[in-house]
Structure 1
Amino acid sequence: MRLLVVWIINAVALFVLPYIIPSIHIKSFGSAMLAALVLGLVNTLIRPILVILTLPVTLLTLGLFIFVINALLFLFVGNLLSGFTVGGFWAALLGSILYSVISWLLASLLLGNRDD
């Protein structure tokens, strides 16, 4: 049940982004649900491989290259799905950061503490 709630929270966070960043477009809430699902899968399956492969660059940049990896994966999902479009790298960078912050805020407000 918790996984479904987190999925909906992520979709809501993604659905809010076009109101903040004009170069990100989402056609419907269903598209946001699908994009949240694909983003979750990409972050689970592909991101760890990219983080390991780019570890020297990440260490040289003191971890800031992780933001570039997140932006590229966000842009990749935007190019992969037809109902979710991202206008470029800088929109993807800002979008991935705001998506993470909004998801975290909503999850902490709605789900509260996991120690229960």
Structure 2
Amino acid sequence: MKFIVWVISNAAALAVAVWLLDGITLEGDTWQDQLLPLALVALIMCVVSSFVAPVVKFLSLPVIIVTIGLFLLVVNALMLMLTGWIAGELEIGFEVDGFWNALFGSIIISIVGSLVRAVLDDD
């Protein structure tokens, strides 16, 4: 059940990031056309967050400590760019255009995802 809540919260957070930022795009004319690609990108994001992000965070731990955790913003932006690259390779129709869009997008996704998980996660 937690995995489903995680995917739904990521999908909602991605939808907000796509809505707010011009540099993060999702193909589809209507929101109904964007639901399946959004769910697939959220699933890709969950896989990247589960397997790639912990390794990158561990390897960059000295830099994270020196920057008092601010480098985690860069790591999260790179994970969003990796998600966009994987989605592009799978021809899903999700694109992240540049580092700054990825940085602001990862901040938006973190905030909205946490809020949605707080609402949906009912232990």
Aligned residue pairs total 113
What is the CA deviation profile of residues 43-85 of structure 1, one whole-angstrom value per residue up to 9, with x for unaligned ones? 1111111111111111111111111111011011112213110
Superposition TM-score, scaled by structure 2 size: 0.84
Say whether the 8 Å CA contact 1:18–1:26 is kept in structure 2. Answer: yes
What is the CA deviation profile of residues 24-61 of structure 1, one whole-angstrom value per residue up to 9, with x for unaligned ones? 00121211111111111111111111111111111111
Q: Over the residues paired in the alignment, what is the CA RMSD in angstroms?
A: 1.4
Higher relative contact order (Cα pairs below 8 Å, separated by 6+ residues)? 2
Contiguous gaps of at least 5 residues in structure 2: 28-33
**Structure 1's 61 and 2: CA in aligned 2 closer, same or farther, altered over 3 A?**
closer
What is the aligned counterpart of 2:47 among 41, 50, 72?
Answer: 41
Q: Is 1:59 the counterpart of 2:77 in the alignment?
A: no
Residue in 2 that maps onto 1:97: 107
1:16-27 to 2 correspondences below 5 Å: 16-27=16-27
Residue in 1 that maps onto 2:3: 3
In the aligned structure 1, how far is the partner of 2:109 from the partner of 2:116? 11
Contiguous gaps of at least 5 residues in structure 1: none
Q: Which amino acid aligns with 2:114?
A: W
Percentage of identical aligned residues: 36
Q: Which amino acid aligns with 1:58?
A: I
Please report how far the alpha carbon of residue 13 of structure 1 lies from its aligned counterpart in structure 2 after TM superposition. Answer: 1.7
In the aligned structure 1, how far is the partner of 2:52 from the partner of 2:120? 28
